[in-house]
Structure 1
C-alpha cells in the first residue's frame, strides 16, 4: 500500500545571518526565489499528497510571488502563519495539516525553506525511512576533526567523528508520532529544541539516521547564497533562445487582453481563447527553447475546453515544461506592434503580471512596443502583432 505523504516546508524565519535585505528564503537564486526552488523538489512528486508552507505573518506577498509559476500547484496548500521559534512554526504547521485531514499513520516530511537542493533520491529515502522506522533524519559523515570547547574557547575534548553525523532536512516521521512529540514538548515547557529530531528524542522516540546528501546545503549566510548561485550557473551551461509570433484581428468589443492585463479599448481581439497575442507569442518562444512544439500543438483551437480560456494558463504550461527539463528562465521579451491602444501606460503592469506567471523577477521581463507608421493591417488598425523572445539556461546533457 502506498503511504500518504505530506510535506511541511518551514519558511517563517527572518534569516538575519544572511545580511540586510529580504529574508534568505525569498532572496533571488539564479533568477528565482530560494523558496520557489525548495518547493519545486516536492510539488510535482506523484508520491506527495500535499505541500504546506509555514511563513511569517508579514510575508504573504513574498510567498505568493515565490509560489507563482510552480508546477504541481494543485498539491500546494494555503500557507500557514508561523510562530516565534522554529519549534512553534512546525507545531502550527502540523496542527494545520491535522485540520486538513492528515492521519496519525501518514508520513510527514519537515524541510527547511532555505534548503533548495533536495534531490529526488533524497526525498525518496526520507519517505522510505519514515515508513520503516517512524522517525528518521538524513545525515552525512563528518570528515573534519571536531573539537569541544568551553566558553573561553579552550578545547575540552575531541569527539570520535566516526559516531558523528551532520544532520539535514527533510526529516521524516509518522504524522501522529511527531505531532504528539511537539505537543508534549510544549506541555513540558520546552521551546528551545532546534530540530524535529530533538523534539522526537525529547518525547522518548528512537530516531534513525539515513544517508543524507552533501550537496543538500542550507543557505544561511550571504556567502552561502553566492556559492549556490555559482553552483547553479555552472550547472546550467546550455543557453538557448527561442522566438514566438502571434497575430489577432480586431472585432467589436470594449477591451483587449495584452500581457495578462485587461486594457480598455474600442474593440477587442478575436481568438479561440482570450486572444492575448503577447502571452501567446511568449508561450511559443519558451516552447521553442526546448523544441517542444508550439501553442497550437499543446492547446489546439479545435478543443472546446480552451474556448475563452485565460492565456496565463498557456504561458504557465510552457514555464512548467521548461522547468521540468531543469531549465531556468533568464529573460523573456515581447515586442508589440499596433497603432492603439497605447502600450506605455500599461507596460509596468504587464511586466509584473508576466513575471508572476513565469515565477521570475520583473527585471527579467522586457516589453517593447511601436507602431507600423500607418502601414499594413496594423497601420489600418485591423489587428495587433506580437513577437516573443525567450532565453533559458538548461543543464548540459550528453548527446
Structure 2
C-alpha cells in the first residue's frame, strides 16, 4: 500500500478576516503558520508517501517561508490550484499520477489538528478493502430547518447525520477517474471529494473522526486555535532523594523529626534523620539546587548534632525563592526496626509544619527489607523521598 497526500491550500479564506492578514493557511497559531502545523503530522506518519501541496500562484513565497526548516520539507512538492476546491484537488491528483500510488488522502490545509490515530483508522479501512473512506463525527446538536422568513419550520432528526472531515481518502485510480469524469460532464459544484465519489457510485465508508480535527474558517477560529497552542501549562517538577545511615548502639532513632526510643541510633554528623535528609535532596532537585551536602557540609562543625528540620526548612525556602509551590512530599522508609506505623501521623504532621503545606499532601510509608542485606541485618535505615513542586506556568 502506497499512500500519497494532497494538502489543499489554494483558497483565499475570505471569511477568516481582513485581506491584509493574508490567507488563513499562512496565519500564525502558536507562533507558526497554520499550514506548518497541518503538514507536520503527515510528514511524521509511518505510512506517509509523496506529499503535494496545492497552493495559489500568488503564495509561493508564503509557502516557502512557512515550511522552511520543517523536517522532511524537502520532500514536499507543490502545484498550483484552480478557482475552486474541486479544480485544486484535480491538480493535486494529476501531480501524483505518475507515482504509482494505491491510495491518496486529501486534506484541508486549514485543519491543523490532525493526529496519527485518525490517519491509522483510515489506513486500516483501506486494508479492509474500502475504496473511499470519510472521517466524520456524529451530529450532536439539535437541528432546525428555517423558513424563508427566518422562523423555524421543522426540527430535523439527527439520526444517521454526520459532519464530514478530512482527510477524505480513496483508492487513487478510482478518485482520479471520478474527478476527470466530473469535469468531462461539466460538473463543477462539488464541495468535497466524498460527494464526487458518491456521485461516481463509489461506496463511501465512514470512520470515526476526531473532535480536535476542526477546520479554521472564520477569524475567531484562528484566534481560538492560537489560544489553544499558547495555553500556559503548569511547570510541574518532581525531585527524588535517597539517603542511608548506619545503625549503631544508642538510645533511639529520629525519623521525620520524631524521636523513637530504641537500643540503637543512627550515626551521622547531624541528628542523622535519614527521612528528612532524603526529602531535602528531593526538594533541592526540583530546581537544580544541588544536594544537602552542598548546603550543609558534614565537615562544618556548626551542623554537629543539628536537627534535620533545619535542612528541610532551608530547602523549602530555596524552592519558594525560585517561585516554587510545594504540592506533595512522600517518604518511603526501609527499616527492620523500629516500628514506624505508630509514629506515622506525627511524622506527617512534622513534614506539613516544616514545609507549610496541608497534612494530606504529606505521606510516610515504611517497609522492611525482608531480612536481606545490611537493612535486613539491622545495620542501617534507608529512605527514598519524592517531592512535587509547581514553578509558575510553562508554555507547551
TM exceeds 0.5? Answer: yes
Distance across 1 between alignment mates of 2:226 and 2:147: 36
Q: How many residue pairs end up in the alignment?
A: 238
The answer on whether the counterparts of 2:231 and 2:395 sit within 8 Å (CA) in structure 1 is: no
When the two chains are superposed, the root-mean-square deviation of aligned CA atoms in Å is 2.1
Given candidates 106, 112, 115, the residue that maps to 2:111 is 115
Distance across 2 between alignment mates of 1:206 and 1:151: 34
The answer on whether the counterparts of 1:38 and 1:118 sit within 8 Å (CA) in structure 2 is: yes
The answer on whether the counterparts of 2:230 and 2:395 sit within 8 Å (CA) in structure 1 is: no
Partner-residue secondary structure (3-state), 1:161: coil
With the length of structure 1 as denominator, give the TM-score of the two structures: 0.57
Residue aligning to 2:93: 94
State how 1:325-340 maps to structure 2 within 5 Å: none
Task: Choose 1 or 2 for highest CA Rg.
Answer: 2
Matched, 1:202 2:199: yes
Given candidates 105, 121, 125, the residue that maps to 2:121 is 125
Over residues 37-67 of structure 1, what are the superposed CA-to-partner deviations in whole Å (9 max), with x where a residue is unaligned? 0000111223111211000010000000111
State how 1:50-61 maps to structure 2 within 5 Å: 50-61=50-61
State how 1:222-241 maps to structure 2 within 5 Å: 222-234=219-231
Partner-residue secondary structure (3-state), 2:190: coil
The answer on whether the counterparts of 1:107 and 1:127 sit within 8 Å (CA) in structure 2 is: no
Partner-residue secondary structure (3-state), 1:109: strand
Q: How big is the shift at 1:176?
A: 0.8
Q: How big is the shift at 1:239?
A: 11
Residue aligning to 1:177: 174
Distance across 2 between alignment mates of 1:40 and 1:236: 22
State how 1:365-376 maps to structure 2 within 5 Å: none
Residue aligning to 1:26: 26
Q: How big is the shift at 1:394?
A: 6.0
State how 1:1-399 maps to structure 2 within 5 Å: 3-20=1-18, 21-76=21-76, 78-99=77-98, 101-103=99-101, 106-132=102-128, 133-234=130-231, 395=396
Q: How big is the shift at 1:143?
A: 1.1
The answer on whether the counterparts of 1:49 and 1:75 sit within 8 Å (CA) in structure 2 is: no
Q: How big is the shift at 1:88?
A: 0.3
Distance across 2 between alignment mates of 1:88 and 1:138: 22
Which consecutive residues of structure 2, in runs of 5 or more, have no partner in the other structure? 238-393
Residue aligning to 1:327: none
The answer on whether the counterparts of 2:9 and 2:109 sit within 8 Å (CA) in structure 1 is: yes
Q: 1:155 to 1:130 in 2, by over 3 A?
A: farther
Partner-residue secondary structure (3-state), 1:7: strand
The answer on whether the counterparts of 1:6 and 1:107 sit within 8 Å (CA) in structure 2 is: yes
Over residues 164-208 of structure 1, what are the superposed CA-to-partner deviations in whole Å (9 max), with x where a residue is unaligned? 111111111110111111111111111110000001011111111
Q: How big is the shift at 1:212?
A: 0.3
Q: 1:175 to 1:237 in 2, by over 3 A?
A: farther
Q: 1:239 to 1:32 in 2, by over 3 A?
A: farther
With the length of structure 2 as denominator, give the TM-score of the two structures: 0.57
Q: How big is the shift at 1:231?
A: 1.0
Which consecutive residues of structure 1, in runs of 5 or more, have no partner in the other structure? 241-392
Distance across 2 between alignment mates of 1:156 and 1:173: 37
Q: 166-175 or 153-162: which moved more?
A: 153-162
Residue aligning to 1:379: none
